[in-house]
Structure 1
Amino acid sequence: MNTSKKILVTCALPYSNGSIHLGHILEHVQADIWVRHKKMIGEKVFFVCADDSHGTPIMLKSKKLGISPEKLINETNKEHYNDLKDFSINYDNYYTTHSKENKETLEDFYKKLKNNGYIKKKVIFQMYDEKEKIFLPDRFIKGTCPKCKSKNQNGDNCETCGSIHNSTELIDPFSTISKNFLIKKKTEHIFFDLPKFKEILKNWIKSLTIKTNILNKVKEWIKIGLKELDISRDHPYFGFKIPNEKNKYFYVWIDATIGYIGTVKNLEKKRKIKLMNFWEKNSTSEVFHFIGKDIVQFHIFLWPSLLEGVGYKKPKDIFVHGHVTINKKKMSKSGKNFILARSYLNFLNSEYLRYYYATKLSSKSEDIDINLKDLLYRVNGEIINKVINLASRNAKFINKYFLNFLSAKISDDNIYNRFLKEKEKIIHKFHNREYQSITKKIMFLADMANFYINKKSPWKLIKENKRRREVHEICSTGINLFKVLMTYLKPITPKTAIRSEIFLNTSLNFRDISKPLVNHKIKNFKCLLKKVSKKKLFLLHKETMLIKK
């Protein structure tokens, strides 16, 4: 391990116009597990995220609520931070793109890109709402598809025929805000010359570990041709103004990606440490981004091109996950098919979902469907009945008959060594984000441990005084096997791991995992994680309208 190397991990930035839902939580849990495992093996990792706090939707929502955009994003930031914290997402810094650091960095990028010849101006036509006196982004535009003639289609795509189009191509386009028909209006915009980076991007993409389905899509986009990106928006708009331009603002995706750097600069100030070498060309430090497959283009094309354009180092890798679905439909606020993070937390333990997501997550970019009955089965049937019950059933004897002291030696070195044999494989699987495989292996080992205890039957042996020492060693072995299992589970279920550490009266780490606890005093066993309640599942269903009332 290179102790001088630092690692920066980020998640995509939640948008400031609404609450976090379980679709967002998937990514944050996936990244948090990865970061926790890295820290457990001694690597120096910094984990950051921020709210994406600019754009027309924020401006319009704040207007509707009768508050300033600044007040809206500040309130949302606090809500997002608390939701993520309550899911045990352990960020070193959770910030906002509406910051002094981000504004300075954004303006510095723009100046360098302009000086390096990557910025140009063009006159274009955009859809304009005369009633609201505003140029509208695609999400607020509807109309008839120019290809299949289906009505009420989106500004940038048709859900009927699947075609992609510009909002200016729609037939009878109208505003979803005012309901008025829109007009095409001429305006001068500023563009980033993305096509100039085509060859550099093609070579960089070869170094990434993105899976075949995503890679094929990326290659298809390159083959079709990269387009110059419009990085400006017209007044009225909530965001940062473009220097030396009248009533022009930076497009939200520019300051959102650069927001990674702004957030790190803020962390530098808080910690009083140097972190900007993450983007120095010759630095050994590495940057990893966790994102959803719906924003691949911004992180595979735009972000590395911006970095290259100012002479910064590109990310080491981009980890892409699929969508979260409910009943096979994508979870989304716009589609009104979602469970808010806080609604979930009002009824269920965050550890349940962390474990449930882990049982489904791999390095692939496949969608994950939430089934609350399956969650109940996974948590109750696996982590509680197999892992936690292993501690409970053995602690019963240690607490009652041996004054909470474990034996001087374990009864079976072979089974303990069999558990330890999986350590390097599990660490490797954590690195590769193969969490599903890890949970399967842990449950396999838990079954092996429980089979061992069942076969030895300490509840029978304890009836014979001459065999008490044997019972002591058997149950001490069971406790030590539990210790290994919980060490493997620690990045996935951190709160349960903390309670286990209190019970075991020791810390759980990979460094000491090979040393069994002998002549060691544990605490009285207390519930480490309650079973999922069917009643609370029903109440969550009811509150989130996932069942018919």
Structure 2
Amino acid sequence: MTTDFSPRKIFVTAALPYANGAYHIGHIMEYIQADIWVRYQRMCGHSVDFVCADDVHGAPIMIAAQKSGLTPQQFVARVSEERKPYLDGFHIAFDNWYSTDAPENYQMAQDIYRDLQNAGFIAARMVEQFYDSEKGIFLADRFIKGECPRCGSKDQYGDNCEVCGAVYAPTDLKNPYSILSGTKPQLRSSEHIFFTLSDPRCVEFLKNWTQDGKFQTDISNKVREWFRQDEQGRVELKDWDISRDAPYFGIEIPDAPGKYFYVWMDAPVGYLSTLKNLLNRRGVNFDAYMDQPELEQYHFIGKDILTFHVLFWPAMLYFSHRKIPTNIFVHGHLTINGEKMSKSRGTGLDPVKYLTLGMDPQWLRYYFAAKLSGRNEDIDFNAEDFQVRVNSDLIGKYINIASRVAGFINKRFNGRLTELDADGLDLLAMLRRSRHNIHALFAARDTSKVVRDVMLLSDYVNEYVDRNKPWEIAKQFDHAVRLQQVCTTCIEAFRVLTIYLKPVLPALAANVELFLQCQPLDFSVLKQPLGAGHTIGAFKHLMQRVDTQQLEALFTAQAENCALPSSVVA
């Protein structure tokens, strides 16, 4: 396929959701952002493998399973079974969805550990660790809360602060308490295994890797803070505790009885093991695939897990002699109607409820695209803004183009298009010239500007319609040629705009392809008009408007456990 670009080979992941519950709307937002970018790359003719998996290990899963009367494997299997309707429902097309509790992940995590050990980056030493004497268990970081040692924020977890982003050991917390029993935990000694991030080789590699201009500006500025020098000009990174004591649901550390990998050690390995599982099923050698020098590797993540992906993960890969990520794409948080999401306060947006109400998933894809950029910025889902953007812009501007002229083509000309006149050719040339900017914006994940530009182009097309008034031309029986030309111009313009929006609205684009009776739309056919004599199909409504009652119902409290409609499940 011919495009404006040389074909690329790309490996893409989104952050692995923790398998202790259903997706929330933040997961869906991230997956939609990644899915749009992947679809865009494929429309350019690039080869993309897009994978994700359930992150299933750790004490939280183990304890949740116990409460449910299930084994951890049974518990996560039940959660995993509920994933597909969400993904299909919002048209998120991963090539493989897997689990970190899979044989490929066990083997790969242990292999990486052994390689790091052979390279001199693994050390063992005694540490004091919090222990819940009431529950009889060493406490995982997420089962300890207290005040952040840096900013003083209360109720922060034992590994990092969600307010200031600080990373620390659980013992650094002020006024710690166990969230399992509410009691003050005891300090007990235990031998733990560390990845020596403080090694000067690690520090030097990470300084160079994080400051070479690849990251978003705000991310580079944030990461730069981690490499501040002390009075002696030294940069110190803390060693990373990668072990947990039994009982623990996870992967055993080789040659260390009773020790398991901390979940954040084996979770990112799931990116690779999920890819390996996909390639194995295709009959493709994983090592040969990863050894391709032209292969690009990207991870879409939220800003709350930045440290794991920008420090620990690339260092693990680099010093175990594996390919490091080409880039990490970081997005901000999502608020709902100006408030942080809170289930107890009813300020969330339930993806299942959205679908069960019969709300079009493409509305949400379009709205997120209209809000997201390539920057690490928080975005807000505002119900009124959502309705206006879908009804006034997406439907009122873009879809309205086809609805205004398709009837004339079908009734007067049996669906046949004709040659364009000079005015129509000028309009189409202007629309096509915008492809360079559209490409740059999609590539930079700045979909808010893509949507803005496409709506501006839609305005130009609607101005063309208003200027030529096909409904007036239709009344003049000797102006049939002119009517057919005007309507053909609008149909061609609609096709170009659909190509620009297809990564955002794949299901709508598929229906447009049926309506236009044309080959699949991608950037290779942008400059190729349907042509005189091409016959389009009958126009059918492509999208309904957002109904106020649906929006009100979406944010109205109701009983949980919504069932997905069969059309979504299928």
> Among residues 31, 34, 43, which one is paired with 1:31 in the alignment?
34
- Which residue does 2:404 correspond to in 1? 393
Give the letter for the 1:228 counterpart: D
Partner Cα separation in structure 1 for residue 222 and residue 380 of structure 2: 23
Q: Which whole-Å deviations, capped at 9, do the CAs of 1:326-371 have from their partners, x for residues lacking one?
A: 2444436799753232122222211011110111111110100111
Residue 255 of structure 2 aligns to a residue in which SS? coil
Unpaired segments ≥5 residues, structure 2: 229-234, 560-570
- Which residue does 2:130 correspond to in 1? 127
Residue 412 of structure 1 aligns to a residue in which SS? helix
- Which residue does 2:81 correspond to in 1? 78
- Which residue does 1:315 correspond to in 2? 325
- Which residue does 2:461 correspond to in 1? 449
Q: Residue 207 and residue 150 in structure 1: after superposition, are their counterparts in 2 closer, same or farther (change >3 A)?
A: closer
Partner Cα separation in structure 2 for residue 156 and residue 336 of structure 1: 28
For the pair 1:260 / 2:265, whether they are aligned, the reply is no
> Among residues 134, 141, 145, which one is paired with 1:142 in the alignment?
145
- Which residue does 1:49 correspond to in 2? 52
Q: Residue 306 and residue 156 in structure 1: after superposition, are their counterparts in 2 closer, same or farther (change >3 A)?
A: closer
Partner Cα separation in structure 2 for residue 422 and residue 153 of structure 1: 47
Contact 2:161–2:167 (8 Å) recurs in 1: yes
Q: Which whole-Å deviations, capped at 9, do the CAs of 1:295-325 have from their partners, x for residues lacking one?
A: 1111111111011111112111111111111
- Which residue does 2:259 correspond to in 1? 248
Q: Please show how residues 327-342 of structure 1 align to structure 2 within 5 Å.
A: 327-331=337-341, 337-342=347-352
Partner Cα separation in structure 1 for residue 361 and residue 371 of structure 2: 16
Q: Which whole-Å deviations, capped at 9, do the CAs of 1:100-134 have from their partners, x for residues lacking one?
A: 00101011111111111110001111111112111
Q: Residue 426 and residue 521 in structure 1: after superposition, are their counterparts in 2 closer, same or farther (change >3 A)?
A: same
Structure 2 length normalisation: TM-score? Answer: 0.90
For the pair 1:232 / 2:235, whether they are aligned, the reply is no
For the pair 1:325 / 2:328, whether they are aligned, the reply is no
- Which residue does 1:372 correspond to in 2? 383
Residue 207 of structure 1 aligns to a residue in which SS? coil
- Which residue does 2:197 correspond to in 1? 194
Q: Residue 146 and residue 200 in structure 1: after superposition, are their counterparts in 2 closer, same or farther (change >3 A)?
A: closer
Q: Residue 94 and residue 38 in structure 1: after superposition, are their counterparts in 2 closer, same or farther (change >3 A)?
A: same
> Among residues 480, 504, 527, which one is paired with 2:541 in the alignment?
527
Give the letter for the 1:514 counterpart: K
Q: Residue 333 and residue 290 in structure 1: after superposition, are their counterparts in 2 closer, same or farther (change >3 A)?
A: farther
Q: Which whole-Å deviations, capped at 9, do the CAs of 1:121-168 have from their partners, x for residues lacking one?
A: 011111111121111123322346778988766545778999876433
- CA deviation after TM superposition for structure 1 residue 209, in Å: 2.7
Out of 152-161 and 116-125, give the one that drifted further. Answer: 152-161
Q: Residue 151 and residue 111 in structure 1: after superposition, are their counterparts in 2 closer, same or farther (change >3 A)?
A: closer
- Which residue does 2:232 correspond to in 1? none
Q: Please show how residues 268-347 of structure 1 align to structure 2 within 5 Å.
A: 268-277=279-288, 279-280=290-291, 283-331=293-341, 337-347=347-357
Contact 1:8–1:278 (8 Å) recurs in 2: no
Contact 1:83–1:341 (8 Å) recurs in 2: yes
Q: Please show how residues 34-183 of structure 1 align to structure 2 within 5 Å.
A: 34-143=37-146, 154-155=157-158, 166-170=169-173, 173-183=176-186
> Among residues 509, 513, 524, which one is paired with 1:511 in the alignment?
524
Partner Cα separation in structure 2 for residue 255 and residue 134 of structure 1: 21
For the pair 1:420 / 2:432, whether they are aligned, the reply is yes
Give the % identical residues: 43
Q: Residue 274 and residue 166 in structure 1: after superposition, are their counterparts in 2 closer, same or farther (change >3 A)?
A: closer
- Which residue does 1:381 correspond to in 2? 392
Residue 195 of structure 1 aligns to a residue in which SS? coil
Out of 234-243 and 210-219, give the one that drifted further. Answer: 210-219
Partner Cα separation in structure 1 for residue 406 and residue 243 of structure 2: 64
- Which residue does 2:555 correspond to in 1? 541
Residue 12 of structure 2 aligns to a residue in which SS? strand
> Among residues 207, 214, 218, which one is paired with 2:219 in the alignment?
214
Unpaired segments ≥5 residues, structure 1: none
Structure 1 length normalisation: TM-score? Answer: 0.94
Q: Which whole-Å deviations, capped at 9, do the CAs of 1:412-470 have from their partners, x for residues lacking one?
A: 11001111111122112111111111111100110110110111111111111101221
Partner Cα separation in structure 2 for residue 232 and residue 332 of structure 1: 32
Q: Residue 156 and residue 259 in structure 1: after superposition, are their counterparts in 2 closer, same or farther (change >3 A)?
A: closer
Q: Residue 148 and residue 371 in structure 1: after superposition, are their counterparts in 2 closer, same or farther (change >3 A)?
A: closer
- CA deviation after TM superposition for structure 1 residue 96, in Å: 0.9
RMSD over aligned Cα, in angstroms? 2.3
For the pair 1:7 / 2:21, whether they are aligned, the reply is no
Contact 1:95–1:263 (8 Å) recurs in 2: yes
Give the letter for the 2:17 counterpart: P
